[in-house]
Amino acid sequence: MAILKILQYPDERLHKVARSVENVDESIRSLVRDMAETMYAAQGVGLAATQVDVHKRVIVMDVSESHDQLRVFINPEIISKIGEEECEEGCLSVPGIYETVRRAANVTVRALNENGETITLEADGLLAVCIQHEMDHLLGKVFVEYLSQLKQTRIRSKLKKRLRETM
Ligand code: GNR
Ligand code: NI
């Protein structure tokens, strides 16, 4: 297992579009294990492969308080979206920034798990928010893109400044 480096906004690689996984093989399972280790180490509730510079449609997630309910979504598709809800979001690629985003309140997602089996899950609450947030990453979209241009500019300069200070 390995802890992977998480790309930090504004890194243009966060805007790459991920490709579908053709075969859920040992290399994908190895990626899933590394992504899970990376997510737990960073104390996140989800991680998309895009964030570790792997442009494949793979997501790991664990919204449980006990941190022992890992969920894996490969080639996820949203098959139904209901309602709207606002939630304050954060992102491991945009550290220290928390902003409110409006998304569907309830989603049904179909995906493959790490064994290549089809799973269907209906989600609401944080799980629904997280699924949509991670699926955006796979499309090259970061949550700050839902904010006003002014806020995006402020966040970019804040993070660039912080990056300079830590070098
Ligand atoms: O750890 C995370 N917490 C979170 C909180 C509210 C809405 C979305 C998230 S996802 C985030 C981890 C992350 O960046 N995943 O891409
Ligand atoms: Ni994120």
- For 10, residues 6+ apart whose C-beta sits below 8 A from its C-beta are 156, 159, 160
Ligand 1 atom 4: residue of nearest CA:
90
- Position 167 confidence tier, pLDDT thresholds 50, 70, 90: low
Ligand nearest to the CA of 143: 2
List of long-range contacts for 32-36, beta carbons under 8 Å, 24+ apart: 32/58, 32/60, 32/72, 32/114, 33/1, 34/1, 34/2, 34/3, 34/4, 35/4, 35/60, 36/60, 36/62, 36/70
Residue 166's pLDDT is: 77
d(CA 156, CA 119): 37
Q: Tell me if the domain spanning 12-166 has CATH number 3.90.45.10.
A: yes
Q: What percent of the chain has pLDDT over 70?
A: 99
Q: What integer best gives the mean pLDDT of the chain? A: 97
pLDDT digits (tens, 9 = 90+) for 94-146: 999 999 999 999 999 999 999 999 999 999 999 999 999 999 999 999 999 99
Q: pLDDT band for position 150 (50/70/90)?
A: very high
Atom of ligand 1 nearest to the CA of 137: 16
CA of 1 to the centre of ligand 1 (A): 22
Of all protein residues, the one whose alpha carbon is nearest to atom 1 of ligand 1 is 44
- Per residue in 46-72, pLDDT (tens digit) is 999 999 999 999 999 999 999 999 999
Check pLDDT > 90 for residue 15: yes
Short-list 34, 44, 15, CA closest to 126: 44
Walk across the sheet containing 71-82 and list its strands: 46-48, 58-61, 71-82, 106-112, 118-124
pLDDT for 140 equals 98
Pocket test for ligand 1, best of 4, 14, 86, 89 (most atoms within 8 A of CB): 89
Give burial (CB, 10 Å; 0-12/13-18/19+) of 58.
Answer: buried
Of ligand 1's listed atoms, the one at least distance from the Cα of 92 is 14
Average pLDDT value for residue range 86-98: 98
Could you tell me the pLDDT band of residue 163, with boundaries at 50, 70 and 90?
confident
Residues with beta carbon inside 6 Å of ligand 1? 44-48, 51, 89-93, 129-130, 133-134, 137
